[in-house]
Amino acid sequence: MPKGLSIFAALMLVATCVALPEAWRSARERVPRAVKGLTLAVLVVLAMSAFSAWASGANLSALDNVSRCLLLPWCAWLAWVTRVRVSCLWYGALAGLLVAFVLSIMETWSGAPRAGGEANPIVFANAVLVLLVVAVFARPARTGFSMQLLLALIVALAVVAITLSGSRGALPGLGLVLLMLFVGGAPQHRWRRLAMVSGLFAALFVALWTVPWLSTQFRLDQVHADVSGYAGDQVDQPISARMGLLTVAWGAFRSAPLAGVGVGGFAQRVDDSRYCQQAPRHFCGLEHAHNDLAQWGATMGIGGIAALLLLYGAPLMIAASQVRRLNPDVPVGAAWTAGMLVAVYLISGLTQSMFSHALSASAYVVIVGLLLGCALTLLPAPDRPSKRS
């Protein structure tokens, strides 16, 4: 079992053992096609990753994070069988956001330059973004003043936690969530809301560049020097390091476009790059490309890119199909949340290798799986299980 999931795995096994007898008694063995599709997609991704690891001589630990993808169809099936209510995930997300907010405040008060939950600040910010998506889009379909006030509080908690983390990579995903929150829903006054959110984004953009504390927190005052340093092979700063990693990834892909350098082989390509031929430096300790497309393409070639598209595309297509069939009046519910979560991961993957971090990979497969399973219980027969007698 992959590291960090022992307790969760034990609880999953217990829940599955409890659900199996009920599934048989209620004739629920007819698994929805969506769950079968997720299972097939995950098995293809795992098979390609395992073959790549075998061909490159990597050990089984190279498959640690990708093996977690098995939880995607498993969680979807379990949520469908047990009829988990999406409100349970919503309450959990609210509690998680509150904990993340408190942690970020405590770490900042203790003198930490960037809040990260005693871990990677980038991964912490991505986790907060996941919680924000669930808290915003899995909420009850109410539009009263109390719900609007709660939404404002939810967004404020997430914005503070992400700001204190100093993660620039989470800002595009945060912008997408805010855009859908303001513009989604009833078509009345949509252009007015779009104008309001455009003005808000413009004000935030100006604040990021003009308010000294915000510029320092997000290291925007270092962007010019960072980019300029890349021309002189200075790749130990965040932006120049990512540019250097993209260069290494492109070279790895060109050298083996069909099979890549193998799962677990990217770190060696970094060590062999021209940036690491002189004295040891921080860049040489980086083990992934900090970009989803570059990482999967460099390690598994064209097949890796196809596997990545499958890993994101299959849940997104299922979520979109469920949204069309359910046709909610406002952009809330399990299917909407699953689709938004995939979209946020796609955007975050531009500056981070999402499946190179255990927390990010686990959050994706578990939460998206549960959300899709919750949405399946709302579909008309025969795609949902029959009611209990």
pLDDT at 77: 92
Residue 203 has pLDDT above 90, yes or no: no
pLDDT grade, residue 288 (50/70/90)?
confident
pLDDT over 80 at 232, yes or no: no
Q: Mean per-residue pLDDT for 350-356?
A: 89
- Is residue 249 within 8 Å of residue 197, measured between CB atoms? no
> How deeply is 275 buried, as exposed, middle or buried, from its count of CB atoms within 10 A (0-12, 13-18, 19+)?
buried
Rounded to 10 degrees, the C-alpha dihedral 185/186/188/191 comes to 20
Q: What is the pLDDT of residue 31?
A: 79
What does the pLDDT look like over 263-273, one tens digit per residue? 888 988 998 88
Q: Which two tokens stand for residue 36?
A: 């079968």
Q: Is the pLDDT of residue 381 over 60?
A: no
Q: CA angle 68-69-72, nearest 5°?
A: 115
Higher pLDDT, 109 or 207: 109
pLDDT value of position 9: 81
Average pLDDT of the residues in 203-227: 82
pLDDT of residue 388: 42
Lowest-pLDDT range, 74-78, 183-187, 215-219?
183-187
Radius of gyration of the chain (CA): 22
Instruction: Check pLDDT > 70 for residue 76.
Output: yes
Evaluate if residue 96 carries a pLDDT over 90.
yes
Q: What is the pTM of this model?
A: 0.90
For residue 365, the one-letter residue type is V
pLDDT at 369 over 70: yes
What does pLDDT average to over the chain? 87
**Does residue 281 register a pLDDT over 80?**
no
At 78, which amino acid appears?
A: L
360-372 mean pLDDT: 95
Instruction: Express as a percent the part of the chain with pLDDT over 90.
Output: 49
209-238 average pLDDT score:
81
CB 164, CB 105: distance < 8 Å = yes
Least-confidence region, from 196-205, 224-233, 241-250, 380-389: 380-389
Q: What is the pLDDT of residue 45?
A: 96
Residues 6+ apart with CB under 8 A from 220: 168, 208, 209, 214
Q: Which one, of 305, 253, 300, lies nearest residue 51 by Cα? A: 300
Residue 122: is it exposed, middle or buried by C-beta count within 10 angstroms (0-12/13-18/19+)? buried
